[in-house]
Amino acid sequence: MFEELTVGLGDRSYSIRIGEGILAEIGEALQRVRFPRRVAVITNPTVEALYGGELLRHLAAAGYRAETIVIPDGEEFKTLRTLESIYTALIEGGFDRSSGLIALGGGVVGDITGFAAATYLRGIPFVQVPTTLLAQVDSSVGGKTAVNHPLGKNLIGAFYQPRHVHIDVATLTTLPPREFAAGMAEVVKYGVIRDRNFFDWLVGARENLQRLDRQSLVLAVNRSCQIKANVVENDETESSLRAILNYGHTFGHAVEALAGYGHYRHGEAVAIGICVAAAVSCELGLCRAEEVAAIRALLVSFNLPVVPPAFPLEDYLRAMGRDKKVKEGVLRVILNCGIGDCQIRELSDPEPLFTAAIANLSEG
Ligand SMILES: NC(=O)c1ccc[n+]([C@@H]2O[C@H](COP(=O)([O-])OP(=O)(O)OC[C@H]3O[C@@H](n4cnc5c(N)ncnc54)[C@H](O)[C@@H]3O)[C@@H](O)[C@H]2O)c1
Ligand SMILES: O=C(O)C(=O)C[C@@H](O)[C@H](O)[C@H](O)COP(=O)(O)O
Ligand SMILES: [Zn+2]
């Protein structure tokens, strides 16, 4: 049994299949999209040890000739250097334009594999098999692919959609609690920007989600993917609406870059960024203090950090100045209007707003 969604993008439309124990169905899913028979599975040592063998068996049983390329585990390896090592393995392995890539792992593997697929031989097809909560609810969908630059997150990348997204929530049983929490930050994001009922449901479903209740997990992943798919269908390349998916990320990416990639999990930095965005929204009268408190409480209930690390404000402002949403030097941020709605706002004078927001959050 599985749920299936479609990301409708014309001739680049693709399905997202969500279920428990559906890794065994990967062969059939690939056949349906006429995926090439020669496949490179990109993964890392942690995920390879857990699911690599099983995936290769299912692929072989369905007639796919698959080899594995293992890259190091960690955000600090989401780099041009790792990307080059993937190209080298593909060239040495004789992968040609009639080959495809499968990303097996979390968002790091997914983002770098997607970018490798977008650029190798000017583009070969790829499929996402996400194994972290964060990748299942967010990074595997929508076609943002990238690597980091020492000066900023995801600064080198491309929009390039997968042919299929295959989500087996059973893989979450091996996920460390810290990684599960990180994924919940992006789930909370969807509630705050787009769906008040979903936000309220999350408040009540916390215990079920944390004990990995199958029904609750599928519902949370499904609703998150629905919201993301809908936004992406309406603005694939972030000319406007898609920027709302970046709620909490302007400050969150600055936290990741300043602390050094890998220190905070991406989702942890986003949780802090969401609190800062909510506090700025409150400063501007877009939401009430009780709503900021409710957002913060939900993130805390999932064991996420909510206090910005104490870097100088100038450092935060410089890092945020490199955000991809900056236009003609002006910072653009996503602010929540209450809970369940949001807007994109230019901030010509961000300093006092962020000073007040950080001070409020640091006080608790
Ligand atoms: N493209 C997008 O739209 C998008 C969206 C959100 C985040 N991202 C990116 O995703 C990345 C974060 O992804 P992430 O949080 O998945 O981190 P990650 O890819 O580093 O994975 C987290 C850890 O979990 C391990 N792991 C993966 N699956 C596992 C499993 N089933 N059991 C046990 N361990 C497992 C990994 O080896 C890793 O150590 C960031 O680089 C972020 O920028 C991209
Ligand atoms: O899909 C999107 O659009 C997002 O913004 C989703 C974010 O959760 C994700 O972290 C994304 O990689 C950030 O994009 P960036 O353009 O700010 O690098
Ligand atoms: Zn994110």
Q: What is the pLDDT of residues 212-261, one digit of tens each?
A: 999 999 999 999 999 999 999 999 999 999 999 999 999 999 999 999 99
Which residue did the predictor score with more confidence, 261 or 334?
A: 334
Q: Which tokens go with 364?
A: 């608790």
For residues 157 and 111, the answer to whether their CB atoms sit within 8 Å is yes
Q: What is the DSSP letter of 286?
A: S
Which ligand has an atom closest to residue 273 CA? 3
The full set of domain ranges for the chain reads 2-174, 177-363
The reported pLDDT for the residue numbered 53 is: 98
Give the bridge partners for 347, in sequence order.
331
Q: Is 186 in the pocket of ligand 2 (CB under 6 A)?
A: yes
Instruction: State the Cα–Cα distance between residues 84 and 69, nearest whole angstrom.
Output: 12
Nearest Cα residue to atom 12 of ligand 2: 144
> Hey, CA dihedral for 238, 242, 243, 247, is it positive or negative?
negative
Instruction: State the Cα–Cα distance between residues 35 and 101, nearest whole angstrom.
Output: 9
Q: Is 266 annotated as a binding residue?
A: yes
Percentage of the chain beyond pLDDT 70 is 100
The reported pLDDT for the residue numbered 233 is: 98
The reported pLDDT for the residue numbered 166 is: 98
> How is domain 177-363 classified at the architecture level of CATH?
Up-down Bundle (1.20)
Percentage of the chain beyond pLDDT 90 is 97
Long-range contacts of 83-87 (CB under 8 A, 24+ apart): 83/112, 83/115, 83/116, 83/147, 86/42, 86/112, 86/113, 86/116, 86/120, 87/116, 87/120
Residue to mutate, 126, 137, 179, ligand 1, most ligand atoms under 8 Å from C-beta? 179
Tell how many helices (H) and how many strands (E) occur in the chain.
Answer: 14, 11
Instruction: State the Cα–Cα distance between residues 175 and 65, nearest whole angstrom.
Output: 28
pLDDT confidence tier of residue 363, bands split at 50, 70 and 90 = confident
Q: Is 223 in the pocket of ligand 2 (CB under 6 A)?
A: no
Cα 355 to middle of ligand 1, angstroms: 31
Q: At what angle do helices 313-320 and 249-259 cross, to 10 degrees?
A: 110
The CATH fold assigned to 2-174 is Rossmann fold (3.40.50)
State the chain's mean pLDDT as an integer.
97
Q: Which residues are catalytic?
A: 122, 144, 186, 228, 238, 242, 246, 249, 253, 266
Residue to mutate, 112, 136, 137, 144, ligand 2, most ligand atoms under 8 Å from C-beta? 144
Which ligand has an atom closest to residue 257 CA? 1
| pLDDT exceeds 80 at position 364 | no
pLDDT confidence tier of residue 22, bands split at 50, 70 and 90 = very high
Cα 196 to middle of ligand 2, angstroms: 21
Cα 182 to middle of ligand 1, angstroms: 9
Alpha-carbon 74 to chain mean position: 14
pLDDT in tens, 24-49: 999 999 999 999 999 999 999 999 99
The reported pLDDT for the residue numbered 47 is: 98
For residues 77 and 50, the answer to whether their CB atoms sit within 8 Å is no
Q: What is the ipTM of this complex?
A: 0.99
Instruction: State the Cα–Cα distance between residues 84 and 88, nearest whole angstrom.
Output: 6
Q: Is 353 in the pocket of ligand 2 (CB under 6 A)?
A: no
Nearest Cα residue to atom 5 of ligand 1: 139
pLDDT confidence tier of residue 118, bands split at 50, 70 and 90 = very high
pTM as predicted: 0.98
